[in-house]
Amino acid sequence: MTTSPATSPSYADTPTLLVKIFGKDRPGITAGLFETLAAFGVEVVDIEQLVTRGRITLVALVTAPGAAAGAAEGALRATVHSWAESMRLEAEIISGTGDNRPRGTGRSHVTVLGQPLTAESTAAIAASITATGGNIDRIFRLAKYPVTAVEFDVSGTGTATLRTSLALEGAKHGVDVAVIASGLQRRAQRLIVMDVDSTLIQDEVIELFAAHAGCEDEVAEVTARAMRGELDFEQSLHARVALLAGLDVSVVDKVRKDVRLTPGARTLVRTLKRLGYQVGVVSGGFTQVTDALQEELGLDFAAANTLEVVDGRLTGRVTGDIVDREGKARLLRRFAAEAGVPLEQTVAIGDGANDLDMLNAAGLGVAFNAKPVVREAAHAAVNVPFLDTVLYLLGVTREEVESADGADTDQHDVDAEHGAAGERLLGGADGGRP
């Protein structure tokens, strides 16, 4: 059960009753239980209620009735059972003391994403939490489709210890597990900074340019080696851009039209903006594309490399400072300073080795469908194809997103359902949830 503010010493040793009601849900059950308890003058210490598939579980922790209340515990038990029977509900009442102790220190939110989430994987995650000395205080479902997402509130063990243990279990059982320290920082307005290629969008932009230059295979091989950390990014960038020399600048518009947003990208950005977050992108790609993304999605910040154009043709060179691995981390810090957001309240999302410094510098680094070296180094990893699942790591539920979209009568770009992403281009919906 959740812990109420009533954790004063006067409650620690007070005799209490744990009243549990279970059965078919209908209006009036909660009011009926507390009207029944009110006759005995008890105080409410804690409450939790859950409805699953039309079945209600209502749990109340109350002080035991004293002589001054004019009734004994036995009378309360009999009255509650009689009321429950009249409502065709089951009741259980357990007496005790010290039932409202504060939760243990070392509190974390453990978000588990499964497609599907199996009983076996859930058992493994729960057992691993116990093995670290943690206690599961609460479990809450964040989403049921197209990904099942649940959140465990855990106390009694350190976040870093949990993260290490659960990362291994998650990988073993094919589920994503993210562990985030509990606290006010999770509720604070934040800055979210994303990589672009294979993160915000499904494509590698330089490969789209290469398709028009007829050198796709050569560029793709160099890109793959750079993302695996086998090549210095700056050297690989210059080598790949050199292959584009001579392309007519009109190819930029063609590439923009070819860009496909990642499923859930538009939903993620739209929801973050509603929450008051600032959102930016940093890319080893090119401003010729990121500038269009910034305008299309209403991003607050954007930085990338710039392809040099002379006399209407690409020269095969880039201009200005190179946005490489170190550059991405530097830009994250700059954006945070400009946004007035402490670095520990930033979130970075990326997939490649050149994102590692940025992921490590952020308060929360999320590896999105990333290379193994990136998944191992990031704070959290998401390996489902929907970018808006990052919202679950922030404690946002699917129902909240859908409710906000449904209430927004001015929204004209309602996203299609997950799974249609292959048909979504820049300027259209993103294949994310509505």
Q: Residue 184: what pLDDT?
A: 77
Give the count of beta carbons closer than 10 Å to the beta carbon of residue 26.
12
Q: Residue 79: what pLDDT?
A: 95
Whether the Cβ atoms of residue 266 and residue 413 lie closer than 8 Å to each other: yes
Q: Residue 422: what pLDDT?
A: 31
Active-site residue, selected from the candidate residues 195, 324, 351, 430: 195
Q: Report DSSP state, residue 196.
A: I
* Domains and their CATH numbers in the chain: 9-97 (3.30.70.260), 108-182 (3.30.70.260), 191-423 (3.40.50.1000)
Q: Residue 433: what pLDDT?
A: 41
197 is catalytic: yes
How many CA atoms does the CB half-sphere of 79 hold within 13 Å?
A: 16
* Regions in the chain scoring below 50 on pLDDT: 1-9, 68-70, 410-429, 431-434
Phi, psi for residue 167 in degrees, rounded to 5: -60, -40
Q: Residue 181: what pLDDT?
A: 87
Q: What angle do CA 351, 354, 358 make, to 5 degrees?
A: 80
Q: Residue 409: what pLDDT?
A: 52
Query: Exposure of 229 by Cβ count < 10 A (0-12 exposed, 13-18 middle, 19+ buried)?
Result: middle
pTM of the model: 0.81
The residue type at 338: E
195 is catalytic: yes
Whether the Cβ atoms of residue 197 and residue 284 lie closer than 8 Å to each other: yes
Q: What is the spatial distance between Cα 327 and Cα 344, in angstroms, rounded to a whole number?
A: 19
Q: Residue 255: what pLDDT?
A: 97
154-190 pLDDT, tens digit per residue, is 999 999 899 989 988 998 999 999 998 888 777 776 8
Q: How close are the terminal C-alpha atoms of the chain, in Å? A: 33
Q: Residue 376: what pLDDT?
A: 86
Q: Residue 54: what pLDDT?
A: 94
Q: What is the spatial distance between Cα 423 and Cα 415, in angstroms, rounded to a whole number?
A: 12
Q: How far is CA 297 from the centre of its chain?
A: 19
- Beta-bridge partner residues of 381: 367
Q: What is the spatial distance between Cα 211 and Cα 247, in angstroms, rounded to a whole number?
A: 11
Q: Residue 67: what pLDDT?
A: 52
Active-site residue, selected from the candidate residues 197, 258, 324, 357: 197
